[in-house]
Amino acid sequence: MNNCNRKIIGARWYARGVNASYLNVDYKSPRDYSGHGTHTASTAAGSFVSNTSFYGLGVGTARGGAPHARLAIYKACWGGAIRCPEAALIKAIDDAVHDAGNDGPLPQTISNELPWVITVGASTIDRSFPTIITLGNNQKLVGQSFYHASNDGSNSTELLLIRSCSTDELNSTNIAGKIVVCADSLFAPGDIPSGAGDASRSMSQVVNSLIEAQAEGVIFARSPIGLLQDYRRFIYLLVDNDVMLQIKEYIQLSDTSSPTATISPANNIVGSRVMSPRVAAFSSRGPSLDYPDLIKPDITAPGVSILAARFNSYYFLSGTSMACPHVTGVAALLKAAHPEWSPAAIKSALVTTAYTTNAYGFPIEADGIPRKLADPFDFGGGHINPNRALDPGLIYDVDPNDYFKFFNCTSDASNCDLVDAHLYHLNLPSISISDLKTSVTVKRTVTNVGDTDTIYRAIVESPPGVKISVEPSVLKFNAFHKVQTFALTFTSLHAVQGDFNFGSLTWSDGGKHLVRIPIAVRVTIQDYFSDTS
């Protein structure tokens, strides 16, 4: 126990409902089998460790979101496929923070969408891993990879152009010792029946086939849904479409029978030169199929190429599972700074202080096919901003009993499936109205947690086709009036059957506090589907 640092103060495991086949390949103990739990725990509360990297990539000091916090480990997921039966999860812990799922970028793929949890989407960070590709004609191009094998530039490898890299094409071609260029590797929307996860697995299947055939590597055209993967010494490269066109042109017009390329190890680029954050393509999107009067996810956090502990080393992983522990760590810090805050207050602080623009002031984008500007069903309130969340100014708090009222269920949560009222009446830091026919009035209550004597003024950004009025539009707080209630009236301006449009309400004190909540409204016509013949 020489390495014991008292970081982990408890560890339990739960196997109720777990298929025996998963138990047979896993440790029947709290010990991590896949490395997934270690990675997420490290991200949430890992201690400071200097000079960490993945074979020289991402070098720096590693630390979790709350590095001085301690961890209690509850193992409820099993096997290499990371199966998490609901019975085991419920037995393990009554979660307060949930990841949004990895089934994006298609709409209505969100999971864990109940109002009392913080649903977290994944976004990119300001780090890039450019790799120099030197073609046989000495033309230098740039791709992205985790490739880390040493190469002094003298070893060139033959390039082989295969259009779709289908199973039939790969099986009928001698690819041993070559770098395969998958020219048509962009995945069309019709090829993604359940989101980017399927496309990512398809790329992995191609790679596995190439490794079995003893190929040296593969080059894919970078898709908005493509993810970097590590395959040790196997070369896995993503390139932009214009770079792919230049590689194809070189191969097709080469004056030699064996066009070649030299792949250099990846480099680190960190900072403003990398446009970030962007909502990751795999991050599941709203609106919720079950609760359309909720905006989900609530927030996004870093979840792409996250370096954290795995087994006895450090490793890059991507997913909402990587984003969720970032929020967990920040929530732990907020609770330590404000022990009187409820879970709903912490959620409010995170959502209302999130940012929606990048370092250059441009709106945050959401990766997908096509890439687009992010909206609340992509990133909720926006990208997490821990420093601002520490001092949010106002909070939207919720009495836990209100959840039971709206879901018409008992305190033991045994029958919480039926919604008893419109969820937009819950005092959440967001508003979604999925069925606005004429006019709806929604009330919200805010609590001042900032300076005692403060005046806030409303700033409204109405969704297209909707008028929003706020009453009162000025909130005055003092030592005797720390809680204020206001009403928002939503009025449809056009009789149309529409889709969701987006806006926001921001309370400003004219200084450091901008308390913003996202708004989504869908205008509908009452008799749109009636028989008009």
Question: Mind listing the pLDDT tens digit for each residue in 294-338?
Answer: 999 999 999 998 989 887 888 888 888 899 999 999 999 999 999
Write the CB contacts of 510 (distance below 8 Å, at least 6 apart in sequence): 455, 457
How far apart are alpha carbons 463 and 453 in whole angstroms? 32
Peptide bond into 277 cis (omega under 30): yes
Strand 260-263 vs strand 130-135: parallel, antiparallel, or unpaired?
A: antiparallel
Cis, bond preceding 400 (omega within 30 deg of 0): no
Query: How big is the chain, counted in residues?
Result: 533
The 8 Å CB, 24+ separation contacts for 495-502 are 495/525, 496/465, 496/523, 496/525, 497/523, 497/524, 497/525, 497/528, 498/465, 498/522, 498/523, 498/524, 500/287, 500/375, 500/377, 500/432, 500/434, 501/463, 501/464, 501/465, 501/466, 502/375, 502/376, 502/463
CA 99 to chain centre: 8
CA dihedral 526→528→531→533, nearest 10 degrees, is 120
Using CA atoms, how far apart are residues 309 and 39, in angstroms rounded to an integer? 5
Tens of pLDDT, residue by residue, the chain (533 residues): 456 667 887 778 777 767 676 677 777 788 888 788 888 888 888 888 888 888 788 888 888 888 888 887 777 777 765 667 666 665 555 443 555 667 778 788 887 888 999 999 999 999 999 999 999 999 999 999 988 876 555 578 999 998 878 888 888 889 999 999 988 754 433 333 333 343 444 677 888 889 999 999 999 887 665 677 777 678 999 998 889 999 999 999 988 888 999 999 999 998 888 889 999 988 999 999 889 999 999 999 999 989 898 878 888 888 888 999 999 999 999 999 999 999 999 999 999 999 999 988 999 999 887 889 999 999 999 999 999 999 999 999 999 888 877 766 544 555 555 555 789 999 999 999 999 999 999 999 999 999 999 999 999 999 999 999 999 999 999 999 999 999 999 999 987 788 999 999 999 999 999 999 999 999 998 665 555 44
Whether the Cβ atoms of residue 185 and residue 165 lie closer than 8 Å to each other: yes
- In the chain, what are the domains? 8-126+276-429 (3.40.50.200), 130-267 (3.50.30.30), 430-533 (2.60.40.2310)
- For the record, the structure tokens of 276 come out as 């970030």
